[in-house]
Structure 1
Amino acid sequence: MKKRLLALCTVLAAATALTGCSQSGGADPGAHKVTLWLMKGSASDDFISTFTASFEREHPGVDLEVKIQEWVGIGDKVNAVLDGTSKESADVIEVGNTQVAQYVETGGLSELTLEGLRAWESKDWLKGLSEPGSVNGAQYGVPWYAANRVVIYHKDLFESAGIKAPPKTRQEWIQATQKLDKGDQQGIYLAGQNWYVLAGFIWDEGGELAVETSGQWVGALDEDRALAGMEFYKQLQALGDGPKDADEETPPQAQVFARGRVAQIIATPSQAAEIEAANPALKGRIGFFPIPGKTADKPGAVFTGGSDLIIPERTGHRKSAVNVITALVSEKWQTELARTMSYVPNRTNLAHVVKGNEGAENMAPGAAQGRATPNSARWAEIEAKNPIKPFMTAVLTGQDPKLAAKTASDTISTVLSSDR
């Protein structure tokens, strides 16, 4: 497998330099424009306008231009900026947290290790955001915000079943769901191929989707701990009528929940708005709780979605680009973004700022336990082929779990270890 040699800043270098590797530490001279690319839907218009005005007041001479980008086709646009073939320019770019490794392999990213150690409270970063932004010990992506799955539940159905408090452990969860699964009522609607949920169960068991050894990635779904996670998924999925051969969007699980006869789904809290739009009678009757863990002392592991911020090496205004990131990850703007957009802030010591927002408040405990997919530049190819989905369907339809897992693991190994 080809390996890109990455130049790393070291702690020793930090003692003698004020910026990242091969970068100037001085202030950007004169009046100039700094361009920030944000993804559509990541921040409200009010947040963007207020942040822009504040930043420009605090940095006289800087014209901050925010350009909104679509997710479709964004990879090619970012790569074009990084390799210098784009007619557009960007000084700071928002990217999906699991995309950073791809851009590092492509080349053209500015290392941000030193800034992260000094100014951005990196010790408290959510691991599900920070770890994907780090490659070979160097930080390229700076955590911005997170969102993760919780259990969305129908309060009336819980009350009718005599369940007075959300479950705290897997065992309590299964017992409660068994009570809720009766007649035409589903204890939980869990599609058979919701592999992000499965990943959390696997991590809870101490398993992995894939592991890296001596630079080689190997699929790990056929290991006993991963199979234990799949077994729990199977037990839970059986307490409803979710399809065994489709994912959570086929049909959209929020629409199924909106019919009023499903007690629970596993989704991001933002889907509550979709449920209420489809069935206004459920407004005020929807609750949230963290996905339960194996023990009551901590919630279950979850896949952390969200965004990191990167700086292209080709920026002509690195100092100002760093200042933009410093502002965006500051407590003031993390608080404003989290409260405005119902996100989880980028670090654990800010979880309290979403208190009172029921959805975000219940995401925060899971986010503290959150993980990301294997940090391989080729993981996107795994998701495109997605051997995990047929593995799940095979197990749920009675096929041999070990054999199905071995088939999926072999595919993962082949894709992650191949040269392009």
Structure 2
Amino acid sequence: MIRRVLACSVALVAVCSLGGCGTLPGFGDDTTEVTVWLMRNSASDDFVQRFKHGFEQEHKDVELDVRIQEWTGIGEKIDQALKDGDAPDVIEVGNTQVPRYAASGGLLDMTLESLRDWGSDAWLPGLAQPGNVDGMQYGIPWYAANRVVIYNKDLFAAAGITKPPKDRAEWLADTAKLNSGQNQGIYLAGQDWYTLAGFVWDEGGELAQEGTGDWKGALDSPAALRGMAFYKQLQALGNGPRNADEETPPQAGIFAGGKVAQMIAVPGAAKAIQKANPRLADKLGYFPIPGPTEAKPGAVFTGGSDLIIPRRTAHRAAAVRVVAALTGEKWQTDLAATMNYVPNKSTLAHAVEGQAGTAAMARGAAQGRATPNSPQWAAVEADNPIKPYMTSVLNGADPKRAAKAASDRITTLLFP
């Protein structure tokens, strides 16, 4: 018997020396290591270290291994990790990417936790909706960002405009007034399709719709055509190029010239404006994109990130605790204040009230939406028939005919 006990002890020591015994009861410190992939620049190094320290202090049995990933090539990397079964325990993904990963069957369903513990009814729709696939919540909202109107206070004052417009009609009237002499009322590139999406949604339209299991392009619906008509009216009140998007050339550089009254962008674009023209540093204002009526701001595309957990994780309970902490009130308010993000719940908007641009973004985020919830939507964005459609209409083509062609192309791309 003594010989057998000694043999077992020697074998156990050998195993521990090779693979570690941190999770064996009675040996080591009984900690579970949870690997977390976060994306480059999503959170500052200070925030990551602060969260890691705080979480490990509250959860003595968990150690976090946070690994920063690059956006370039991340989709294929996650696809492969889910397929091979060696994925990390928690992964940050773009909110609109969740359907792609859910289609593989490799994600953990967190519907129960979302409804029972995490107050999912208050989540921003632009983050929550793409994370919900076939009624199951795979992606848990982490942070959001969306477009607002950035304006030149001096040009507004010179035009006698003392407050931001409350609805679309007032916005058009103000922009027309600002569009005089050498000044542009607004710089709006002809292919800013994310902004167009908001106008389409405001009218009750969609970029694409699902019916009986199939997705089809929907730009040719009457509602979507009304959204494009409004875009054309607004775009004409400035000199934005009809055949390029907002980065060709970068619109912040155009605005920095001091002759543009408004542009539509995330508030972070103010940094580029101020860098190009420091004299505008205290001349910038922000307001949510106006809606059709005063009742609420206009719909906006919500960018940002969700958190997912691979279904085959070996540390399910610990991974769920990490997601709960990152998406809970304490660390949401910390992240929002640190990174100028919109928190994942409308009830936490108070966390950014002191930041003018982020506060405007938070008001708009309540009307946020995401791109169609198809696993194939990335193929649409890669080909992007929406852009040439917009240019065609702005150049005088028949809107309905151009929209039908773009919708047909979207339908083709949405077939796997």
TM-score norm. by structure 2 comes to 0.92
**2:195 maps to 1:168:** no
**Unaligned segments of structure 1, at least 5 residues:** 1-26
Aligned CA distance change for structure 1 residues 139 and 85 (closer, same or farther; 3 Å): closer
SS at match of 2:165: coil
Alignment of 1:29-68 (within 5 A): 30-68=30-68
CA distance in 1, matches of 2:203, 2:121: 25
Deviation at 1:351, TM superposition (A): 1.0
Work out the CA distance in 2 between the residues paired with 1:182 and 1:142.
46
Distance (Å, rounded) in 1 between the aligned partners of 2:228 and 2:95: 25
> 1:173-203: per-residue Cα shift (whole Å, max 9, x none)?
0010011101211000000000000000000
Secondary structure (helix, strand or coil) at the match of 1:221 reads coil
Contact residue 142 and residue 305 of structure 2 kept, 8 A: yes
Equivalent pair of 2:94/2:305 in contact (CA under 8 Å): yes
Aligned partner letter, 1:234: K
- For 2:330 and 2:158, locate their aligned partners in 1 and report how far apart those are by CA, in whole Å: 43
Question: What is the distance in 2 between the residues matched to 1:138 and 1:326?
Answer: 17
Separation in structure 1 between the aligned mates of residue 80 and residue 54 of structure 2, nearest angstrom:
30
Judging changes above 3 Å, is the alpha-carbon distance between structure 1 residues 262 and 28 closer, same or farther for their aligned structure 2 residues? farther
Q: Does 1:312 align with 2:310?
A: yes
Partner of 1:79: 79
Report the 3-state secondary structure (helix = DSSP H, G, I; strand = E; otherwise coil) of the residue aligned with 2:215. strand
**Pairwise CA distance, 1:85:** 6.2
Superimposed CA distance per residue, residues 102-161 of structure 1 (whole angstroms, 9 cap, x where no aligned partner): 001122111111111111110101111001001110010000010000000001100110
Equivalent of 2:349, from 348, 351, 365? 351
Match of 2:140 among 139, 142, 145: 142
What code does the residue aligned with 2:60 have? P
Matches for 1:205-354 after TM superposition, within 5 Å: 205-354=203-352
Shift of 1:297: 1.1
Mapped partners of 1:85, 1:216: distance in 2: 30
Choose which of 361, 364, 379 in structure 2 pairs with 1:363.
361
Tell me by how many angstroms 1:77 deviates.
1.1
Q: How does 1:89-100 map to 2 (within 5 A)?
A: 89-100=87-98
- Structure 1 length-normalised TM: 0.91
C-alpha distance in structure 2 between counterparts of 1:211 and 1:110, whole Å: 26
CA distance in 2, matches of 1:307, 1:28: 35
Question: Equivalent residue of 1:344, what SS?
Answer: coil
Unaligned ranges ≥5, structure 2: 1-22
Q: For 1:156, which of 154, 157, 161 is the aligned residue?
A: 154
> Do 2:150 and 2:264's aligned partners in 1 also have CA atoms closer than 8 Å?
yes
Per-residue CA deviations over 1:199-237 (Å, capped at 9, x if unaligned) read 000000011111111111111101111000000000000
Q: Quick one: which amino acid aligns to residue 285 of structure 1?
A: K
CA-CA distance at 1:262 after TM superposition? 0.5
Alpha-carbon distance in structure 1 between the residues aligned to 2:358 and 2:395: 35
CA distance in 1, matches of 2:375, 2:253: 34
Task: Tell me how far apart the structure 1 counterparts of residues 121 and 218 of structure 2 sit (CA, whole Å).
Answer: 29
Mapped contact 2:85–2:312 kept (Cα < 8 A): no
- Shift in Å at residue 58 of structure 1? 0.7
Partner of residue 69, structure 2: 69
Amino acid of the residue matched to residue 233 of structure 1? Answer: Y
Could you give the per-residue CA deviations for residues 380-410 of structure 1, whole angstroms, max 9, x where no partner exists? 0000000000100000000110010000000
Report the 3-state secondary structure (helix = DSSP H, G, I; strand = E; otherwise coil) of the residue aligned with 1:193. Answer: coil
Tell me, in whole angstroms, the C-alpha distance in 2 between the residues paired with 1:61 and 1:370: 38
Residues 148, 366 of structure 1: 8 Å contact kept:
yes
- Counterparts of 2:312 and 2:334 in 1: how far apart (Å)? 30
Contact 2:95-2:303 within 8 A present in 1 as well: yes
Separation in structure 2 between the aligned mates of residue 322 and residue 28 of structure 1, nearest angstrom = 21
Q: Answer with 1 or 2: which has the greater Rg.
A: 2
* AA in 2 matched with 1:39: M
Correspondence for 1:16: none
**Partner of residue 377, structure 1:** 375
Distance 2:357 2:339 in 1: 11
SS at match of 2:368: coil
Instruction: Tell me the equivalent position of 1:185.
Output: 183
1:239-298 CA distance string (max 9 Å, x none): 000000000000000111011110000000000011101110101111100000010110
How many matched pairs?
390
1:61 offset after TM fit, Å?
Answer: 2.8
Matched residue, 1:389: 387
Cα-to-partner distance string for 1:291-325 (whole Å, 9 max, x where unaligned): 00010110000000010000011211111100001
Question: What SS does the aligned partner of 2:301 have?
Answer: coil
Distance 1:353 1:229 in 2: 33
CA contact (8 A) 1:110 1:140 kept: yes
Root mean square deviation of aligned Cα: 1.2
Q: Deviations over 1:44-68 (max 9, x none)?
A: 1111111000001111132101111
Partner SS state of residue 408, structure 1: helix
Matched-pair contact (CA < 8 Å) for 1:150–1:291: yes
